[in-house]
Amino acid sequence: MTSAIAWICALGALSASITLSAHAAPLQCLAPAKPGGGMAVTCKLVQKGLQIPTVAASQDAPVKINYLPGGIGAVAWNSIVTQRRAEADTLVAFSGGSLMNLAQGKYGDTNVGNVRWVAAIGVDYGMIAVRADSPYKTLRDLLDALKKNPSNVTIGAAGTVGSQDWLKISLLAKQSQINPKDLRFVALEGGGEAFTALRAGHVQVVSGDASEAILHTLDGEIRVLAVLSEQRLPGALAAVPTAREQGLAVSWPIIRGVYLGPDVTDTDYKRWVSRFDAMMATPEFSRLRAATGLSPFALSGDKLTVYIKKTVEDYRRQSDQLGLIR
């Protein structure tokens, strides 16, 4: 009898342990690129934002950041929509570049409805950077060199032809009467890899994002030639002129946020939307967002989903006009 009671108690303890373990599954933010880029910026901001005392859930451990690079977001997307569809505590970072790739069919036979869009937490902007010892002191210096001999300048960009980084420098080139097809691009896996290649001298220019540049300019080895925003950005890049100031009417805003798998329950999805709404409403989050180089932009749930559907449709139309749709 005693042994039977002990066995029942052991089973109860095991059951409680399993239940606790399931409940305590670690929160994670999946960055679909290598460290050092904009996706990492998003996950780090989410990690810090969810630790704000008025937002943090008492039972949650800090968000763990995991990296799953490949295909400029395609590997992470396919992992979530095929194998990890119901993981309620796996948030996946996305950007405007993800939406561009989705519009161009670079994620395969997929669409906006394949995931659950939780929140857009800020807006980034494009930028053009060189090494501090580069002969190009201004954006105009660079464009003059590209116009004279485009094959002499290697440009690092996350993604292949048609990616948002390719489009940023291509738009600047077109306004300077340079054929983007003549530019010499090196396709890289995310902003972190692009800046690593720039530091090593494998490329001479990086077409990327302002938040990425902030991560890599603190040691003085990188010079940002222009930000692609309507007005100068506050903070670390406040001294950097816009492309517009330098005579080129090009701006490139980039939203950053997170999504969940398609089979996450409505209850869990709404829980995350509410939690992000609460986080983004705090002054603490506003300060954290500004420190990363992101500007205010907050959409969540159904409103974000409508916004993304329209954005992807717009990107698809633009890409089709440029002959970029496969």
**Helices 139-148 & 164-175 angle (0-180, nearest 10):** 80
CA distance linking residue 252 with residue 123, whole number of Å: 10
Contact of 137 with 129, CB cutoff 8 Å = no
Contact of 31 with 64, CB cutoff 8 Å = no
CA distance linking residue 100 with residue 23, whole number of Å: 36
Query: pTM of this prediction?
Result: 0.84
CA distance linking residue 210 with residue 214, whole number of Å: 6
**Domains of the chain from N-terminus onward:** 27-123+254-321 (3.40.190.150), 125-252 (3.40.190.10)
The residue type found at 172 is: L
CA distance linking residue 208 with residue 128, whole number of Å: 6
CA distance linking residue 124 with residue 69, whole number of Å: 20
Contact of 43 with 190, CB cutoff 8 Å = no
Q: In tens digits, what is the pLDDT along the chain, a chain of 326 residues?
A: 444 434 334 444 444 333 333 344 689 999 999 898 899 999 999 999 999 999 987 667 789 999 999 887 899 999 999 999 999 999 999 999 999 999 999 898 889 999 999 999 999 999 999 999 999 999 999 999 999 999 999 999 988 888 889 999 999 999 999 999 899 999 988 888 999 999 999 999 999 999 989 988 878 899 999 999 999 999 899 999 999 999 999 999 999 999 999 999 999 999 999 999 999 999 999 999 999 989 999 999 999 999 999 999 998 988 887 777 65
C-alpha angle 301-305-309 in degrees, rounded to nearest 5: 175
Helix, strand, coil shares of the chain, percent, nearest 5, are 45, 20, 35
Name every residue whose Cβ is closer than 8 Å to that of residue 209 and which is 6 or more positions away in sequence. 37, 38, 95, 124, 125, 126, 127, 191, 254
In which element (H, E) is residue 262 found? none
Handedness of CA 181, 35, 91, 298 (dihedral sign): negative
